[in-house]
């Protein structure tokens, strides 16, 4: 038993690697007051070097190296871990980590919280009945749910039957000091072959996987140049990230003869600098919760072109801070790209409006306060929870 009087929160994720969900965990741990809670990050599979983004030295990382498939056989091991750690709160995230709530309940963890951060690639619209049944099965073991968008809150309420009293909706927050506009316009990105003083750089940042749909953006870029050939001398595409779709994206660009107009540097850690080197940000996802990269782009003063999925329309005010287009529609995205590239003054005004919107509604401080309030309220700070901490 730890002599530390602070309550312990165990954050359970499937894999602790580069991603929006994981970045949200990092931001929460780094910015929550150190005297409020202790933290452990438990990954069902792997903990990667991404853990280096956690700035607090007192955070423990645990990787279970779970193989693919259902993990019911892991429950005894999880039970033993929870009994050893004696957390006050277990906070799981997304369907892949939901089953750990059973072990937390069995181990007597006082508070069990589950967050829904976004759609599964096999369940883009939330209609998968198997996933609905699984979530309903585990519902009795969860005391409180957190949905990151109105869309996910509606799903939990209408499809899973979670009462409003057992659910909160919290938007992600962004560090508006780390992500801020370049003082004198877009600045050169290290290693990038394009000059922001001569070119218009539109780009995206994210793992190249099906749900993010970067191939659709590559197709839209090709079509945009066909719609407005005059843009060929200036419009450039930046695709930051790595993953299974990277080769497909490169093939689309090469076959269209525009590979020299695009830059695919792979995964980068200097995302704030990347944002400051762009003139516009694009998110072509097929499904989203609340996108951290949209918030980072808006905080960086960029107009945002995004698909109408998940919480994207909660963040981007269509026609005011950017443009919203249908998902899986390269023609619509191409037209929007041409519109923003052809009206740079309007695009800049959208970016400025986006920065103001983030400062007013999506600050990191507001997000952290919301999570800490839920933890405090659920823990109660009295009675059984304090007795549990005291052992």
What does the angle CA 241 – CA 42 – CA 47 come to, to the nearest 5 degrees? Answer: 35
- Tokens read off for 210: 């099906």
- Cα separation, 21 vs 16, whole angstroms: 9
Closest to 32 in 3D by CA, of 50, 58, 12, 63: 58
Segment 246-272, tens digit of pLDDT: 999 999 999 999 999 999 999 998 999
Average pLDDT, whole number, for the chain? 93
Contact 186, 300 (CB under 8 A): no
Whose structure tokens read 């309940």? 105
Closest to 176 in 3D by CA, of 372, 354, 374: 354
- Cα separation, 320 vs 304, whole angstroms: 10
pTM of the model: 0.78
Q: Which domains can be identified in the chain, with CATH numbers?
A: 7-173+364-390 (3.40.50.2000), 200-361 (3.40.50.2000)
- Can you give the C-alpha Rg of the chain in angstroms? 22
Segment 282-300, tens digit of pLDDT: 999 998 888 989 999 999 9
Residues, the chain: 391
Share of the chain above pLDDT 70, in %: 96
Question: What SS3 state is found at 63?
Answer: strand
Mean pLDDT, range 57-81, rounded to an integer: 89
What is the pLDDT at residue 119? 81
Longest dimension (CA), the chain: 71
Segment 89-108, tens digit of pLDDT: 999 999 999 999 999 999 99
Q: In the structure, what pLDDT confidence band is assigned to residue 4 with cuts at 50, 70 and 90?
A: confident
Contact 288, 124 (CB under 8 A): no
- Cα separation, 249 vs 237, whole angstroms: 12
What is the pLDDT at residue 386? 46
- Cα separation, 357 vs 295, whole angstroms: 10
Segment 123-133, tens digit of pLDDT: 888 899 999 99
Q: In the structure, what pLDDT confidence band is assigned to residue 385 with cuts at 50, 70 and 90?
A: very low
- Cα separation, 311 vs 316, whole angstroms: 9
**Other residues' Cβ atoms within 10 Å of the Cβ of residue 28:** 22
What is the pLDDT at residue 390? 43
Query: For 57, which DSSP code?
Result: T
Whose structure tokens read 């919290």? 170
List, as one string, the DSSP characters of 280-335.
EEEE--S--SS-HHHHHHHHTT--EEEESSTTHHHHS-BTTTEEEE-TT-HHHHHH
- Tokens read off for 142: 């969860």
């Amino acid at each position: 038993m730890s002599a530390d009087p602070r309550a312990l929160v165990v954050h359970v994720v499937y894999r602790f690697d580069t991603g929006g969900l994981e970045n949200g965990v990092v931001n929460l741990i780094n910015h929550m007051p150190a005297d409020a809670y202790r933290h452990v990050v438990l990954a069902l599979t792997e903990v990667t070097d991404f853990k280096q983004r956690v700035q607090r030295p007192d955070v423990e990382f645990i990787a279970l190296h779970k193989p693919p498939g259902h993990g019911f056989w892991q429950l005894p091991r999880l039970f033993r871990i929870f009994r050893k750690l004696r957390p006050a709160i277990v906070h799981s995230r997304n369907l892949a980590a939901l089953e750990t709530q059973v072990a937390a309940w069995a181990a007597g963890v006082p508070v069990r919280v589950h967050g829904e951060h976004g759609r599964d690639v096999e369940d883009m619209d939330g209609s998968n009945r198997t996933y609905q049944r699984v979530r309903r099965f585990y519902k009795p073991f969860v005391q409180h749910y957190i949905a990151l968008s109105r869309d996910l809150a509606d799903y939990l309420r209408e499809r899973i039957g979670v009462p409003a009293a057992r659910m909160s909706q919290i938007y992600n927050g962004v560090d508006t000091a780390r992500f801020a506009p370049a003082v004198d316009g877009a600045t050169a990105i290290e290693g990038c072959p394009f000059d922001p003083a001569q070119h218009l750089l539109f780009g995206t940042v994210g793992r190249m996987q099906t749900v993010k749909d970067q191939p659709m953006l590559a197709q839209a870029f090709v079509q945009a140049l066909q719609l407005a050939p005059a843009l060929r001398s200036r419009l450039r595409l930046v695709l930051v990230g790595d993953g299974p779709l990277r080769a497909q994206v490169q093939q689309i660009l090469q076959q269209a003869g525009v590979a020299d107009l695009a830059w695919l540097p792979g995964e980068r850690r200097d995302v704030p600098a990347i944002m400051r080197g762009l003139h516009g940000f694009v998110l072509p996802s097929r499904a989203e919760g609340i996108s951290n990269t949209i918030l980072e782009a808006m905080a960086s003063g960029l107009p945002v072109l995004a698909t109408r999925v998940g919480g994207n329309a909660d963040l981007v005010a269509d026609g005011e801070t950017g443009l919203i287009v249908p998902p899986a529609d390269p023609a619509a995205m191409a037209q929007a790209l041409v519109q923003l590239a052809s009206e740079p003054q309007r695009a800049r005004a959208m970016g400025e409006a986006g920065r103001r919107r983030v400062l007013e509604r999506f600050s990191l401080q507001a997000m952290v306060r919301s999570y800490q309030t839920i933890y405090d309220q659920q823990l109660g700070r009295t009675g059984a929870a304090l007795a549990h901490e005291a052992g």
